[in-house]
Structure 1
Amino acid sequence: MTTALLVAALLMGFFGSPHCLGMCGGLVTAFGLSMKDVSPAKRRALVATYHFGRLTSYAFLGLIAGLLGTAVLQPLMQGNSAPRILLGLVLVFVGMTMLGAPFLKRLERFGMRFWQYLSPIRQKVFPLNTFPRALSAGLLWGFLPCGLVYGALLIAVVAHNPLSGAALMFVFGLGTVPMLVATHETVGWLRDKIGRFRLRQLNGAVMVLSGLAVVFVPIAMSSMHGNHGSGHSMGMAHGDTMMMTDTDNTTHHDMSQMDHSMHNMNNDSETME
């Protein structure tokens, strides 16, 4: 896995975090209300703990996605360009999702059923006044249905190995942290800047272009190299033809000289007679 892929995951999490705030805002508010009786220092520590739990769940999901990609896809992609092409297509797909395409809405609805199934367990972690409860809440939070998370998991599937998938998802989660831990004023400022400059859409467009480049640039380079090789071969053939022509001319010249010598010898014989 390249550093560029990790950076893409980090930016995907950061610029997509306004969407995360919309999905998770109610949950964050509930967490905050459940910690109203703890000291500010402990509150900050509890917030860090449940975010660590959330990122741990993301890393676990990335590990599973990487295992799936290794077990199912890798045997089909040995010795060919399929891994590169698949990665490029996934980047295009995720980029279009960030641009607003509703590709993952149905998957979100399916995930909501699982989230509702966890409801009895979620109720047991409140109030978040101890570190085990905060960690448990974060671990459960990581399974909240989210199209952005599912998009990152698709990249983790083609990340070549399980550890890469886990690292990619953990870094993706890091990108979402600033928006989710910011104060109300800071949240408003971040959302305004990301929305005003359309940074999410810009990041989506960059991902689409990156995916297209991953797919088509090597093909174009290979085609150019092939044409160069063909031209080189044609040049060699033309050189061989020139050499053969020069050889034929030399041979013809030598034969002409031999004929001229024979003619002179005949003339000398006639003179002697």
Structure 2
Amino acid sequence: MTTALLVAALLMGFFGSPHCLGMCGGLVAAFGLSMKDVSPAKRRGLIATYHLGRLLSYASLGLVAGLIGTTVLAPVMVGNNIPRILLGLVLVFVGMTMLGAPFLTKLERLGMRFWQALAPLRKKVFPLTTFPRALTAGLLWGFLPCGLVYGALLIAVVGHDPLTGAVLMFAFGLGTVPMLVATHGTVNWLRNQIGRLRLRQMNGAIMMLSGLAVIIVPIAMTSLHGGHSGHGGDMQMDHSSHSAMMSEDDTSTSHDMSQMNHEMNNMPVDHSMHNMGDNNDAAAEQAK
């Protein structure tokens, strides 16, 4: 798991939290009303507990999503570029969702049916006056249908392993916490700032560009590297050819020198000077 992917999940949760506030605002209000008779200190503890339950619920969903990714998708994701391409496509898809594309509305409707099926169990946790009830309420809250959550789960599916999926979903949930625990005035300020600066749209655009980069950049680098390798091969061939030519010239030169030495050694020796010396000795003997 890369740090960039972890940061992407965290920012996805933070900049998408105004959407979460719209989906979860009623539930948070109901939790608050059920804790009106507890002390402020215990109230803060209960709030932290049900948010912890929600994050654990997200992490468990991420664990399952990562397990699906490593089992169902594993046969087609070994020894090829499919994992990287699939991750890039998911980032583009999630980015478009954050920009407002209604890709996951049908999935939200399907999730609403499951949420309604949990109604009898949800009623049993009220009022939230004990920590076990608050934890259970948070665990159930994690199954509230939300397109943003489903988008984060898609990232967990294409993660490297189930643990990665769990960590990514926990980080995503952590990003939503500030908006959901802020006071009413702070919530309004955060929502206004995110809306005024279009931070959610900016984050969606960044995720789309990141997904495209994940797909395109390695392909471009591979092509560029392949071109350099071919050029380097030609240079190496030229160098080898030059070396071979030099070697042949040296061999030819050595052969010529050896032949010249051999011919010089086999040349007949001129004995005229030696004969001249012998004639002079004979003339001296006659003079005596």
- The normalised TM-score by structure 2 is 0.83
* 1:68 maps to 2:68: yes
Equivalent residue for 1:107? 107
Q: CA deviation at 1:130?
A: 1.1
Structure 1 unaligned spans of 5+: 252-273
Q: CA deviation at 1:183?
A: 0.2
* 1:3 maps to 2:39: no
Equivalent residue for 1:160? 160
SS at the partner of 1:113?
Answer: helix
Bigger shift: 138-147 or 232-241?
A: 232-241
Mapped to 1, the partners of 2:76 and 2:244 lie a distance apart of 50
Q: CA deviation at 1:248?
A: 9.8
Whichever residue aligns with residue 36 of structure 2, its letter is K
* 1:171 maps to 2:175: no
Equivalent residue for 1:231? 231
Mapped to 1, the partners of 2:70 and 2:241 lie a distance apart of 53
Q: CA deviation at 1:235?
A: 3.0
Equivalent residue for 2:146? 146
Mapped to 2, the partners of 1:241 and 1:168 lie a distance apart of 56
Equivalent residue for 1:222? 222
Mapped to 2, the partners of 1:190 and 1:30 lie a distance apart of 22
Bigger shift: 215-224 or 71-80?
A: 71-80
Mapped to 1, the partners of 2:42 and 2:15 lie a distance apart of 29
Q: CA deviation at 1:246?
A: 7.9
Mapped to 2, the partners of 1:32 and 1:247 lie a distance apart of 90
Equivalent residue for 2:93? 93
Deviation digits for residues 216-251 of structure 1 (CA, Å, limit 9, x no counterpart)? 111000000111112222334445666788899999
Whichever residue aligns with residue 180 of structure 1, its letter is L
Equivalent residue for 2:29? 29
Equivalent residue for 1:256? none
Bigger shift: 21-30 or 235-244?
A: 235-244
Identity of aligned residues (%): 75
Equivalent residue for 1:48? 48
Q: CA deviation at 1:75?
A: 2.5
Mapped to 2, the partners of 1:85 and 1:137 lie a distance apart of 38
Bigger shift: 73-82 or 166-175?
A: 73-82
Equivalent residue for 2:264? none
Mapped to 2, the partners of 1:27 and 1:176 lie a distance apart of 15
Q: CA deviation at 1:31?
A: 0.6
SS at the partner of 1:101?
Answer: coil
SS at the partner of 2:5?
Answer: helix
Whichever residue aligns with residue 226 of structure 1, its letter is G
Largest Rg, 1 or 2: 2
Mapped to 2, the partners of 1:158 and 1:23 lie a distance apart of 26
SS at the partner of 2:73?
Answer: helix
Q: CA deviation at 1:80?
A: 1.3
Structure 2 unaligned spans of 5+: 252-288
Equivalent residue for 2:190? 190
SS at the partner of 1:203?
Answer: helix
Whichever residue aligns with residue 40 of structure 1, its letter is P
Deviation digits for residues 118-148 of structure 1 (CA, Å, limit 9, x no counterpart)? 1111111111111111111111100000000
Whichever residue aligns with residue 3 of structure 2, its letter is T
Equivalent residue for 1:269? none
Deviation digits for residues 129-168 of structure 1 (CA, Å, limit 9, x no counterpart)? 1111111111110000000000000000111111111111
Equivalent residue for 2:131? 131
Equivalent residue for 1:13? 13
Mapped to 1, the partners of 2:93 and 2:134 lie a distance apart of 34
Q: CA deviation at 1:28?
A: 0.4
Mapped to 1, the partners of 2:203 and 2:243 lie a distance apart of 58
